[in-house]
Homo-oligomer: A and B are copies of this chain.
Amino acid sequence: MNKELLCQIYSHPLIGETELEKIIQAHRKVSFKKGAFILEEGEVSNSYLILENGLMRSFAHNYNGTDITTDFFSNQEIVIEVLSLFQRIPSRENIRALTDCDCWEIKFDTFQELFHSIPGFSEWGRLWMTNRLFHFKQRSVEMVTISAKDRYLQLIKEKPQIVLQSPLKYIAGYLGITDTSFSRIRKEISQEH
């Protein structure tokens, strides 16, 4: 069992060595083929994943049925649908592998047990939530204060793996524009070299 990635993910000043070991033991390795669904609309999520390598995307459906990419998950990130997992309600989102993926999975029940028995772990969890919250808050502001072109340039800088591995239409959706506009923006950028 390659513990390095998990050690890194769960590193926190209040989590000691034995506790870290216990947390890591709670994970088991799982793989997904390109195109596999990790979570489907209507299911209650029952675990989360730590993505060792590969790319996934989460998406929901519009009132008129259009598919909206809400997020990408790439290397070393936690793949989770927070609302469904923690509120035990059916998910309104789908999560799907864009490439073959290797992951570490932890079940909700196991997580729950550790969350309440290891104080450092609940701190860790809150810290993680805090970061996600910040991420989405920031994103909601940037979606209107920054032009689509600049959001794209920012994505290239911050998460190049996405741009390299995802079909363009999903990136367009994530940026909040149509694939048509996205194509034009890419053209414009390439012409500036």
Contacts and interface: CB of A to CB of B under 8 A. Distances in A.
Interface stretch (A98-106, A129-137, A158-166): A129-137
Each complex incorporates copies of this chain amounting to: 2
Given A116-B122, A127-B86, A137 B70 contact: yes
Contacts of A177: 144
B176 A86 contact: no
Given A86-B127, A127-B86, A133-B83, A68 B122 contact: no
A18 to B, nearest CB: 19
Contacts of A133: 82-83, 129, 132-133, 136
Contacts of A87: 127, 130
Given A116-B122, A140-B140, A83 B130 contact: yes
Contacts of A116: 119, 122
B125 A176 contact: no
17 contacts: A62-B145, A68-B145, A70-B141, A71-B137, A82-B133, A86-B126, A86-B130, A87-B127, A87-B130, A115-B122, A116-B119, A126-B126, A126-B129, A129-B130, A136-B139, A140-B143, A144-B176
Interface of A: 60, 62, 68, 70-71, 82-83, 86-87, 115-116, 119, 122, 125-127, 129-130, 132-134, 136-137, 139-141, 143-145, 176-177
